[in-house]
Amino acid sequence: MALPIQYNIRSVLVRWRSTLSTIFGIGLVVAVYVMMQSLAIGLEQSSANTGDPRNLLLMRKGSTAETSSQVTREQFKLLQYLPGLEKDEKGEPLISADTMILITLARRGNQGEANILVRGVTKMGIYLRPQVELIQGRMFEPGRREVIVSQRLAERFEKLGIGETFKTGGHELTVVGWIDGHKSAFDSEIWMDSDDARSLFDRENYSSVLLRADPTRWNEVTNRVESDKRLPLMTISESKYYSDQTATATPIRFLGNFLATAMSIGAVFAAMNTMYASVGSRTREVGTLRVLGFRRRSILIGFLIEGAILAFIGGALGCLLALPINHYSTGTLNFQTFSEVVFEFNITLPLIIKGLVFAVTVGLIGSLFPAIRASRLPVIASLKSL
């Protein structure tokens, strides 16, 4: 005989109080799971969105980040004559030397301080990063202690409004413009002239070099750099460098999985308790189903489907509860550069599907033993129960 699905669905509606309790319990678990995973996804996408696939980044061998690298001015001069470099319309090689500085600024709302990355760039460096757009104000002018700031940073830290000044390292810098990195790692940076940065912060050398070369000649450029003993540097695709800077997302993803696992255990027991109570109150009804010809296997599957339906609804509710934080801007510590990295919660369709699958799994596990008990109830004893 067919499964008693219609009976299970009606029972869910009749016992609406316990049904709502189960749905909300699982919904909260799924909401926490989706929120934490969306943090990790947003952080990973921030790095993945950064860089131009045509660019090569050069750093000192052994360096894991630009902040721990050094490139001397003599080495930069040699690099300008590398074969294979592309040139602009004026015939200038597309190469730029950057200077990376860590400074400390106060967050808005008296929420403490954090390290911020200041990138000293040249005009060619700005040209090599077309995804960064000046959205308000004007570009900085060399020699005038001017900076342009990510709008997302300006929203999180004090004294970063256009026209405002902030003090760092005994120097005052003036904000003359806001930039938009379009959800890339550049949304976490302050930009100024590279030589100004070296002079103000007493840095003799640059931190890294960015260049653009014909991809068909990347091997030639790499071999030329690595074979020159005057250039103890390594080359890496700019896009790959930033995609590798995702170690910060690992502990967030781990924490999300840990919290979801811990809360799912509670949700499983809550669902199990609800289903046991449901089976206990429906003993006579289960016996009636057996008399009507429904097999134990049908009753078992029917109760499992009932638990799965409740869990699916709870999962959908949890996803809805998490949606308001989608694209909400937040920040955390980048363990590669030890600076504040700004990114967004990112709730994707695959993540929602994972949340629903997670919810249904919790519902099935929580319903399994009560369903087995219901399917094994003796018929005569069930009919005699009050």
If asked whether residues 200 and 280 sit together in one domain, one would say no
Do 140 and 192 form a contact (C-beta atoms < 8 A)? yes
> Is residue 332 scored above 50 in pLDDT?
yes
Give the per-residue pLDDT at 211.
94
Which of helix, strand or coil describes residue 55?
Answer: strand
Give the burial string for 143-161 (b: 16+ CB within 10 Å, else e): eebbbbbbbbbbebbbebe
pLDDT exceeds 90 at position 331:
no
| Same domain, residue pair 66 and 43 | no
Q: Are 165 and 174 in contact (CB under 8 A)?
A: yes
Q: Which domain holds residue 207?
A: 62-231
- Identify the helix (H) or strand (E) that includes residue 364: helix 349-375
**305 found inside a domain:** yes
Say if 178 falls within a structural domain: yes
- 152 and 126: one domain? yes
pLDDT tens-digit series, residues 35-65: 888 887 887 777 777 888 889 999 999 888 8
Q: What is the pLDDT of residue 386?
A: 46
Residue 239 located in a structural domain: no
278 in the same domain as 194: no
Per-residue confidence band for 69, with pLDDT thresholds at 50, 70 and 90: very high
Task: Return the percentage of the chain with pLDDT > 90, whole number.
Answer: 34
Mean of pLDDT over the chain: 82
Higher per-residue confidence, 218 vs 55: 55
pLDDT of residue 49: 76
pLDDT beyond 90 at 162: yes
- Answer whether residue 14 shows pLDDT above 70: no
Residues for the chain: how many in total? 386
pLDDT at 271 over 70: no
Asked whether residue 327 falls in the same domain as residue 183, the answer is no
Statement to judge: residues 226 and 255 lie in one domain: no
d(C-alpha 368, C-alpha 18), whole Å: 17
- Regarding whether 261 and 227 lie in a shared domain, the answer is no
The pLDDT value recorded for residue 2 is 53
Pick the range with the lowest mean pLDDT from 34-43, 119-128, 331-340: 331-340
Mean pLDDT to the nearest integer, 188-209: 93
Whether residue 97 sits in one domain with residue 208: yes
Domain count, the chain: 2
- 67 in a structural domain: yes
Judgement on whether residues 103 and 76 belong to the same structural domain of the protein: yes
% of the chain with per-residue pLDDT over 70: 80
pLDDT, residue 36, reads 81
Question: Are residues 43 and 68 both part of a single domain?
Answer: no
Cα gap 53→220, rounded to integer Å: 17
Q: How far apart are CA 229 and CA 170, in angstroms?
A: 38
52 falls within a domain? no
The pLDDT of residue 75 is above 90: yes
Out of 231, 264, 291, a domain closes at 231
Pair 120, 158 in one domain:
yes
Token code pair at residue 316: 């959908």
146-150 and 171-180 beta bridge pairing: parallel
How far out from the chain centre does Cα 342 lie?
Answer: 10
Stretch 305-310: mean pLDDT, rounded? 82
